[in-house]
Structure 1
Amino acid sequence: MNLNFSVGPSLQHRLALGLLLSVSLIIFDHKFNGFGTTRVYLNSLVSPLQYLANLPGELLSASATQLASHQQLLDENAQLTLQATLMSEELQRMTFLKEENNRLRRLLNSPTNVNIRKLVAELMAVDNNPYSHQIVVNKGTINGVFEGQPVLDESGVVGQIMQVSSTNSRVLLIADITHAIPVRVARNNVRLVATGSGSLDELHIQHVPHSADLQVGDLLLSSGLGKVFPEGYPVAEITSIVRDESRPFAVVRAKPIAQLDRLKYLLLLWTDEQELPEPEEIEQ
């Protein structure tokens, strides 16, 4: 067995020698800064390795920041979307309330006689019979409502009460074929009778002589005859006049002033001779 390669200092001696050299080099470097230049080169050499070692951490940190920013933006966007939705709902509600307020103001400021008392009613139902134009309102005998009572909206005459129960009433619209109302022309006081045609946007003017002084656009007001509708309320506007000498009377059509197809709030009227019962003397 060849032992030439095994001859040398023992491990203990090598360790002691290494420690001695290390301590000597540390003392030498500390006292005389003998390895300053070498340390600079070594740091420069190791610097790329340090950057490479830190790169995964930097990438993870940047990714986490980006994800956090993206999630924050998503949260803020969701919050803003919710706020916009709530504001939109409030805006729609405010618009509806504004329209309702304007409608009530117009209704209460309708051109009624100062001595006529009035009661605001609200539409409850519309008759689904295609051959009849009737509606139901939420006022009845407990409110003093009576048969034949005139009914208006904010624009003009709507109809009259035809049936009354304790808490609601049925209104016959002026467009119903069974309804007739005496009117006069606002321009010259010519007296006529307007009857329902069965269509919500048209009335017939009955028994008009060919020589009658009528014009398209003439406003028809309630004449007060018959003591059902007080005088002076807008009823309709003449839309067409056909004077055919082969017929005994002219064919006259008019459009109701009241918006019969979009009723919401209505006005019930009492004349001077009628008293509104207590306790609801005037309800608005």
Structure 2
Amino acid sequence: MGTGVKKMLQKALEEGYAVGSFSARYLTNIGPVLEAAVRQSSPVIVQVSQKEMKRYGSTCGQFADEYRRCIREMDIRVPAALHLDHTKDLDIIQAAIDAGFDSVMIDASEQPLEKNMEIVKKVVAMAHAKGVEVEAEIGKISANDLIETDSTTQLYTDPQEAGYFAKETAVDFLAVSVGTVHGAYGTRKPHIELERIREIREQVSVPLVLHGASGVPSHLIKAAISLEGGGVSKINVATDLEAAFLSALGLDSSITNEAVLKLPSEQLDKAHEAVTRVVEEKMRDYLLSSHRA
């Protein structure tokens, strides 16, 4: 239903930029994310996770329907894709495949290596049968807000294991743990192990994914993207988008999709424009993906 994600990421890897995978979280934020891509002439991935759907009140079908509606009605011509982020439940992954998502992420990173690989192979078989691509994770990326993942422990990705994992599972792109965390940074300072990315890149031929980019300074993100020999090609951003959305609404905590629909349209327009601005800024100043469509 969209552009092949791996193809988008391969181009990014070769040309030295990254594609942003933006968690809309709210159904009404899908349009603003796509609008930013049009304004910046940038490739874009719209994503949602299992926990986000549960927390904000939506389904794979609703997300896919709204995404398709926006693509059609906004006449989106830039490369765009719909991705299922952190998900453990195979029934939800199947629902996303059936709904027409372009790619899905199976997160079995908390399992021992062989078990993780066993689960990933199962998902790869399910997804590839329908032309859907798969992201998996090796190493643990800790979370500050626990919206996307349960993990609060940090375990950096082992480069040799990553090479073995990618080859054996036939995964299309691989999320690695190199120092970032999910959610807003508190007392911890943002950190990226560039040398580890370099070592992983030597072992892994598929594109690499960096999770937890909200709050990380642009110079660190740019360094992770533009490593000699290739860096990370897909960067997930979630918290910064919702923070801008809620701030424009004068709220300090998440609401549901149902509550969003009851907001006055002028207020919602202002919040949507705030989301578009944040996504544009990421594309321009972090991802280096502006004018790459």
TM > 0.5 = no
Between the two structures, name the one with larger relative contact order (CA 8 Å, sep ≥ 6). Answer: 2
Bin of the TM-score, shorter chain as denominator length: under 0.3
With the length of structure 1 as denominator, give the TM-score of the two structures: 0.21
With the length of structure 2 as denominator, give the TM-score of the two structures: 0.21
- From the two aligned structures, give the one with the greater helix fraction: 2
Which one has the largest radius of gyration? 1
